[in-house]
Chains A and B, each alone.
Chain A
Amino acid sequence: AQSVTQPDIHITVSEGASLELRCNYSYGATPYLFWYVQSPGQGLQLLLKYFSGDTLVQGIKGFEAEFKRSQSSFNLRKPSVHWSDAAEYFCAVMNYGGATNKLIFGTGTLLAVQP
């Protein structure tokens, strides 16, 4: 069965510092991978997605993620964090082409940004 693991429940970084949020997935074939961000009490906004091709994916708000098949990872990075990046981040995998085409979410990583 597919699964997504986000090992870090809560991360705190200083404004201007670099950020890496970890995501590991379990899936038999090449997965479709996503990162979403959720501000408190809000819906989810798509940051970026990986379907195929270049393993380094650029997203909105200066985020990028790298798909590493050998490590079953899809970590999210940002070189310089802004205070407005404080939010909850969810990694997700989808089995497009399967019976349900549904997203499986990780448990999320809550990012706090210190001034």
Chain B
Amino acid sequence: GAVVSQHPSRVICKSGTSVKIECRSLDFQATTMFWYRQFPKQSLMLMATSNEGSKATYEQGVEKDKFLINHASLTLSTLTVTSAHPEDSSFYICSARDRHLGNTIYFGEGSWLTVV
């Protein structure tokens, strides 16, 4: 199946700093990418939908100024957690929709963020 790569897989940052997580579709073009957040032993919560070349669409309750999403190319989307706080510590997962297999969505391996 298609491959979606996330980097870094684990990151620790200090409170108040910003951290960027990358999501790449390695063998297909993704016009749409999605960012999820998952708390321990819970389901995935969609944060935002990222469309290549346009602004991301954020879900209700998600702070767009805190979670900056950029989708500059058909294979890369980035999530930047700005001014991170310990409550932002979580597992962040991206997914990408294959534009040629329009209905199939593939997930990355996730990124653990710990804010200390």
Binding site for B on A (CB under 8 A): 32, 34, 36, 41-46, 49, 51, 90, 94, 96, 100-108, 110
A103 touches B95 (CB 8 A): yes
Task: Specify the chain B residue showing the minimal Cβ separation from A100.
Answer: B49
Does B32 reach chain A (CB closer than 8 Å)? yes
Does B54 reach chain A (CB closer than 8 Å)? no
With contact pairs A44-B93, A96-B102 given, residues A102 and B107 touching in the complex (Cβ less than 8 Å): no
Bound complex: CA of A49 vs CA of B42, how far in Å? Answer: 22
Bound complex: CA of A102 vs CA of B34, how far in Å? Answer: 8
A63 CB to nearest B CB, Å: 14
Bound complex: CA of A106 vs CA of B42, how far in Å? Answer: 10
Query: Which among B6, B103, B110 is the interface contact of A41 at CB below 8 angstroms?
Result: B110
The 8 A-B pairs at the shortest CB distance, nearest first, are namely: A44-B107, A43-B109, A43-B110, A43-B107, A107-B43, A105-B43, A105-B44, A96-B103
A90 touches B109 (CB 8 A): no
Does B112 reach chain A (CB closer than 8 Å)? yes
**A110 cross-chain contacts in B, Cβ below 8 A:** 41
Query: Which among B93, B97, B103, B108 is the interface contact of A51 at CB below 8 angstroms?
Result: B103
With contact pairs A102-B46, A103-B95 given, residues A49 and B107 touching in the complex (Cβ less than 8 Å): no
**A106 cross-chain contacts in B, Cβ below 8 A:** 43
A94 touches B43 (CB 8 A): no
Interface positions, chain B 81-111, Cβ under 8 Å from A, are 91, 93, 95, 97, 102-110
B71 CB to nearest A CB, Å: 14
**B106 cross-chain contacts in A, Cβ below 8 A:** 46
Does B73 reach chain A (CB closer than 8 Å)? no
B49 CB to nearest A CB, Å: 6
A42 touches B110 (CB 8 A): yes
Does B57 reach chain A (CB closer than 8 Å)? yes
